Amino acid sequence: MSTTPEFGSLRSDDDNWDIVSSVGYTALLVAGWRALHAMSPQPLVRDDYAKVFIAASQDPYLAATLANPGTSEDEMAFPRLYGVQTRFFDDFFVDAGAAGIRQAVIVAAGLDSRAYRLEWPQETTVFEVDLPKVLEFKARVLNEQGAAPKARRVEVAADLRTDWSRALEAAGFDVERPSAWSVEGVLPYLTDDAQNTLFTRISGLSAPGSRIAIGALGSRLDHDQLEALETAHPGVNMSGDVDFSALTYEPQTDPAERLAAHGWVVEPVRNTLDLQAGYGMTPPEVDVKIDSFMRSQYIMATR
């Protein structure tokens, strides 16, 4: 298995990936940050499956990082920020369940383990949408661990750039019942047209009372500002050798505006600093600097 992702080239409309290449590797990287966050003294969330995915991938960079984790504020910056993001989506699904919603859809599920981690209400179905190779890797690793989901978990092997809504309905999704949708970190990897199509399809599938949460640490990476940050805070290591600029697209339309145009009632948009304050945290200087150029955005809306 190759553990060195190919970066530096432009995306194509029909490119594909597994968990150790291209966009798929970013899911593995985020799992590594979740694993590191779980090692911190007071983690906001604990994802004990994250380190298992890293071990199974045999990725040398992430394995070495987990074996010798940093402890300073700078070294733990991205694990901390992804801990905040994970908590945001965890709380979203818990609140949706408390409101009576029994269908959850995790868009571009990657190595999301919420079907196994969260305490879901009875009769909840969690649909996970992603490419077949990504879902196959996750299922294999979790089966080897003897992990059991805490809700009815349904895989939907599909490409978000195609009409995945048909596959979702064929898997048992009920368009007449309210649903809760998470769109975590995926928008920067979709073209503007693909994003619009994604929101159109989600909106068409969402009965009144449905909820959606969207969020990412940033829409696009500015390398000059990242280099300046790493000079001022040498302990920061965002991603090893991953070049996000080769994988992402320049955003054209604000996702909150897209939701409103599709008939969603959008709550006030927050950034990661707002979320930290809500969790009783004081963002350190490095987090403030990171957010100044990555421009995080966390959105919730109701249909």
Spell out the per-residue pLDDT of the chain, length 303, in tens: 333 333 333 334 544 434 554 455 778 888 999 999 999 989 999 999 999 999 998 888 888 889 988 888 999 999 999 999 999 999 999 999 999 999 999 999 999 999 999 999 999 999 999 988 889 999 999 999 999 999 999 999 998 878 899 999 999 999 999 999 999 988 887 888 888 999 999 999 999 999 999 998 876 666 777 778 888 888 887 665 665 555 566 666 889 999 999 999 999 999 999 999 999 999 999 999 999 888 899 999 999
Q: pLDDT tens, 177-208?
A: 999 999 998 888 788 888 899 999 999 999 99
What is the number of alpha carbons within 13 Å of residue 69 lying toward its C-beta? 19
DSSP state of 289: H
pLDDT of residue 143: 94
CA distance 47 to 52: 10
Q: Are 298 and 185 in contact (CB under 8 A)?
A: no
Q: pLDDT tens, 92-131?
A: 999 999 999 999 999 999 999 999 999 999 999 999 999 8
CA distance 196 to 190: 9
Give the amino acid at 297: Q
pLDDT of residue 9: 33
DSSP state of 267: P
Q: Are 32 and 58 in contact (CB under 8 A)?
A: no
Buried/exposed code over 112-145 (b: 16+ C-beta within 10 A; e: otherwise): bbbbbbbebeeebbbbbbbbebbbebbeebbeee
pLDDT of residue 251: 64
For the beta carbon of residue 109, count every other beta carbon within 10 angstroms. Answer: 26
Extract the tokens encoding 145.
């661990």
pLDDT of residue 246: 58
Q: What are phi and psi of 66, to 5 degrees?
A: -70, -30
Q: Record the pTM.
A: 0.89
Q: Which domains does the chain have, with CATH numbers?
A: 73-302 (3.40.50.150)
Ranges of H-type helices in the chain? 22-38, 50-57, 60-67, 77-98, 114-117, 132-144, 164-170, 192-205, 223-232, 255-261, 272-278, 285-294
For the beta carbon of residue 219, count every other beta carbon within 10 angstroms. Answer: 17
pLDDT of residue 187: 87
Tally helices (H) and strands (E) across the chain.
12, 7
pLDDT of residue 184: 95
Q: What are phi and psi of 259, to 5 degrees?
A: -60, -45
Give the amino acid at 27: A
Q: Which of 298, 290, 240, 243 is nearest to 268 (CA)?
A: 298
